């Protein structure tokens, strides 16, 4: 039985504050307690949640993944940008050109995200979080398509994208060149097994698809409830047992 994408996790120096920022920008409800970190629940309880977990890793360069937020009109785009700035976001320069229509911002912890201009056909009908845009290879796009059993909705010029059969946010990978990894990612996936599933069998399936189990060391966050794994590009993700 295939595990599902339960959450996109942020490692944050101040998890509760970052949760309040994203709750204000997205309009998602805050849930969770001190033990498991703050979390945002998607409207209607469908799709993934966003979790904010404590982490003190210094930020070195751009994240390997960022959210692309959609806009229905120029005014809507301006309102999203204004709301993000009000909650503590800021404008940043990552090399975007003046003629480009999207706005590049950072949240209070320095994580990049974009507010996309209206009329973007690729993100049509995806919802407010149009995409989690990732720096990654074609191989890793194929891996996650098979791992989640989400179909490829783009596969061209080594760029890939997948989307749940139920629709919603796309996950995209931009192809080469992929920047070298300099430390643990601030954003990672958390998968959850369905009730009654065999976790070891699922881990074996993911390994057969191209994932690896890291050697145990001080960075290994595996425990009895979840297992740390690496995808083919070396990105951390977790496999979580069924939640009670």
Per-residue pLDDT of the chain (244 residues; tens, 9 = 90+): 689 999 999 999 889 999 999 999 999 998 865 446 789 998 876 789 999 999 877 777 889 999 999 999 999 999 999 999 999 999 998 777 676 789 999 999 999 999 999 999 999 989 999 999 999 999 999 999 999 999 999 999 999 999 999 999 999 999 999 988 888 999 999 999 988 889 999 999 999 999 999 987 545 565 667 899 999 999 999 999 876 5
The b-or-e profile of 88-97 (16+ CB within 10 A means b, else e) is: bbeeeeeeee
Pairing of strands 129-134, 170-173: parallel
Judge contact between 14 and 53, C-beta under 8 A.
no
């Amino acid at each position: 039985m295939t595990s599902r994408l339960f959450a996109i996790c942020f490692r944050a120096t101040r998890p509760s504050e970052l949760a309040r920022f994203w709750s204000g920008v997205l309009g998602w409800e805050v849930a969770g307690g001190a033990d498991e970190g703050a979390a945002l629940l998607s409207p209607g309880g469908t799709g993934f949640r966003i979790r904010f977990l404590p982490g003190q890793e210094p930020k070195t360069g751009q994240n390997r993944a960022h959210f692309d937020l959609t806009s229905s009109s120029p005014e809507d785009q301006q309102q999203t940008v204004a709301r993000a700035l009000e909650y503590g976001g800021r404008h940043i320069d990552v090399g975007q050109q003046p003629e480009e229509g999207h706005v590049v911002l950072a949240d209070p912890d320095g994580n990049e995200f974009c507010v996309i201009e209206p009329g973007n056909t690729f993100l049509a009908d995806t919802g407010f979080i149009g995409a989690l845009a990732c720096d990654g290879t074609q191989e890793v796009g194929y891996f996650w398509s098979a791992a989640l059993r989400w179909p490829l909705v783009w596969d061209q010029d080594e760029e890939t994208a997948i989307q749940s059969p139920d629709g919603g946010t796309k996950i995209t990978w931009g192809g080469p060149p992929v920047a070298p990894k300099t430390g643990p990612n601030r954003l990672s996936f958390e998968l959850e097994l369905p009730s009654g599933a065999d976790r070891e069998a699922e881990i074996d399936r993911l390994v057969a698809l191209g994932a690896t189990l890291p050697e145990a060391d001080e960075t290994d966050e595996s425990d009895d409830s979840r297992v740390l794994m690496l995808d083919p590009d070396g990105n951390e993700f977790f496999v979580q047992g069924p939640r009670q």
